[in-house]
Amino acid sequence: MSAPPGPSTLRETLLALEARDLARREELAEQGVLHEGYHPRMEAVHRENARELRALIERFGWPNEQRAGADGAQAAWLIAQHAIAEPEFMRSCRSLLEREVAAGTVPFWQLAYLDDRICVSEGRLQRFGTQIELTPEGPTPCPVQAPETLDARRAEAGLRPIAEQLKRMANDPRPTPEQFAQRKAQERAWRAQVGWTPHDGN
């Protein structure tokens, strides 16, 4: 077994983990199975990457831009964002990102995406509208807090207006009503299985 990375290779380690995630995603897309539920081979990569990120955090703290560079910090965020099978780990990453955003060492949008994903997984309203579903009617944000002020919160986080984001997704393939209903039922069952129960607080 190779030795754990030192500070000089933290960035390279994170970029390698990100590349593994994206390569598996591309592989499944080429096979036409990427969007058929949460594929076990994708979940396996996400779980392994989460395990490795957890070890890096224990050694170095959160890989912010000062420790890992902008691209390394973004890779750490991506790994946390995709650790959807590990609710408590995602919540712990959110707490770390909250501190990093307050310190100015990572961009606010990273926290916005992670917080929204956790809220939606817990069955709560998201704050920034980053979690968007492809429905039979087209792309639709998952339920959001105070929609009348959504764009103001998105601007604060460095995100484009929600209408612009939805327009970019307008031509994505839409499921049939039957496919969408089946996907939602599978999603609810899977979330319950891995422990995404309602959670108090942010």
CB 118, CB 200: distance < 8 Å: no
pTM: 0.91
**What pLDDT, on a 0 to 100 scale, did the predictor assign at position 8?**
55
How far apart CA 157 and CA 109 sit, in angstroms, is 5
**What pLDDT, on a 0 to 100 scale, did the predictor assign at position 170?**
94
**What pLDDT, on a 0 to 100 scale, did the predictor assign at position 3?**
46
The two structure tokens encoding residue 95: 């707490």
- DSSP for residue 104: T
Which of 120, 148, 1 lies closest to 130, judged by CA? 120
pLDDT tens for each residue of the chain, 202 residues long: 444 444 558 999 999 999 999 999 899 888 887 777 788 889 999 999 999 999 999 999 999 999 999 999 999 999 999 999 999 999 999 999 999 999 999 999 999 999 999 999 999 999 999 999 999 999 999 999 999 999 999 999 999 999 999 999 999 889 999 999 998 998 999 999 999 986 655 4
**What pLDDT, on a 0 to 100 scale, did the predictor assign at position 190?**
92
**What pLDDT, on a 0 to 100 scale, did the predictor assign at position 199?**
61
